[in-house]
Amino acid sequence: MTTDPSQVQLTADGRLKHFLTTEGLSRELLTEILDTADSFISTQERDVKKVPLLRGKTVVNLFFENSTRTRSTFELAAKRLSADILNLDIAKSATAKGETLMDTLWNLEAMYSDMFVVRHADSGAAHFIAEHVTPNVAIINAGDGRHAHPTQAMLDMLTIRRHQGSIEGKIVAIVGDILHSRVARSQIHALRTLGAAEVRVIGPGTLLPRDIEALGCKAYYRMEDGLKDCDVIIMLRLQKERMQNALLPSEGEFFKLYGLTEEKLTYAKPDAIVMHPGPINRGVEIESNVADGPQSVILNQVSYGIAVRMAVMAMAMSGQQQERNELAEQHNEQHIEQNNEHNNEPDQEEA
């Protein structure tokens, strides 16, 4: 990445035109995303759930990694904004026949696409596309490598705000495989910006990045210590597909030490909420009595995911359109100015 992603994703006057990361975004902008998502939640409870904000626009889902929940909620969000959707099957696409990724993207852009939703195993893939490939297409990062998963983080922020009243002043614990989690990084940036009193990460030393406290959180290695007086507990999935070495003795040992049980939950505040970005592994990260219990808001997170993705897509498209309008206006003004200069030039024959 050659440019600060927090700058690439903004228009000249600070509006969202891509959504690549929560890092570097202002509290005002993150709050605007949450407020916009809140306004969409009521539309999802109607008989007719669609709004016309993206009518006539084309959204392309580019998922280079497998995903069910994220892809489904992005597709539903786009449809409920009245956009046309193209789900590109990467395994059967021209890239599998030797075409480069950039040629594929340029062809999609030539089809007058308006937005790419990108999920990729490589960190920085969405930023690369936003910076180098598509000057007039909004890019939404649906998860890139270990780097960022900003829409997941924002739906988590919305969940905390709706169930705890506010993020400001809350103590939040993120538990499990922090090392491989793009979600945790995006959550930490958003929580810090939105005023959480304390962000804790809990896990074995092998699953906590050495420099994690540089992000402004505190590391704990025992659940009893890390969960004490927490308002929010976010459990993470063990990402075994990203583990190149044996980082854990066994799943059973991990559950014994770091799995969330009813007993461990008592260390947190009595009204603490339990979250998980999914998919959950029962008996590995969390026991069923907690996952399905009264303090769990895991299914609420899924519902809010549609509203958050609608908000991000609508705001990015609005920013793109505003930038295009301003460029067109500048071009027209320059054209008028050049014509005036030409008309004011003295006629050579008259001179």
Alpha helices in the chain (DSSP H): 5-8, 27-43, 69-80, 101-110, 125-132, 150-164, 182-193, 223-226, 251-258, 262-265, 288-291, 298-344
- Cβ-contact 313, 77 below 8 angstroms: yes
Q: How many beta carbons lie within 10 A of that of residue 121, not counting itself? A: 13
What does the block give as tokens for 331? 């071009």
What is the average pLDDT value for the chain, to the nearest integer? Answer: 89
Average pLDDT of the segment spanning 228-239? 94
Residue 343, pLDDT score:
79
pLDDT band at 7 (very low <50, low <70, confident <90, very high): confident
**pLDDT tens for each residue of 93-152:** 656 666 777 888 888 888 889 999 999 988 999 999 998 877 789 999 999 988 999 999
Residue 246, pLDDT score:
56
What does the block give as tokens for 267? 């260390």
Cis bond leading into 270, ω under 30°?
no
pLDDT band at 278 (very low <50, low <70, confident <90, very high): confident
Residue 317, pLDDT score:
95
Q: Is the pLDDT of residue 316 over 90?
A: yes
Average pLDDT of the segment spanning 237-244? 70
**Higher pLDDT among residues 37 and 350, named by residue:** 37
As a whole number of Å, the CA-based R_g of the chain is: 23
Residue 95, pLDDT score:
66
Residue 338, pLDDT score:
80
Residue 331, pLDDT score:
77
Residues of the chain by 3-state class (helix, strand, coil), percent to 5 = 45, 15, 40
Residue 173, pLDDT score:
98
pLDDT band at 322 (very low <50, low <70, confident <90, very high): confident
Average pLDDT of the segment spanning 244-261? 81
Average pLDDT of the segment spanning 231-260? 81
Stated pTM of the model = 0.89
- Cβ-contact 79, 50 below 8 angstroms: yes
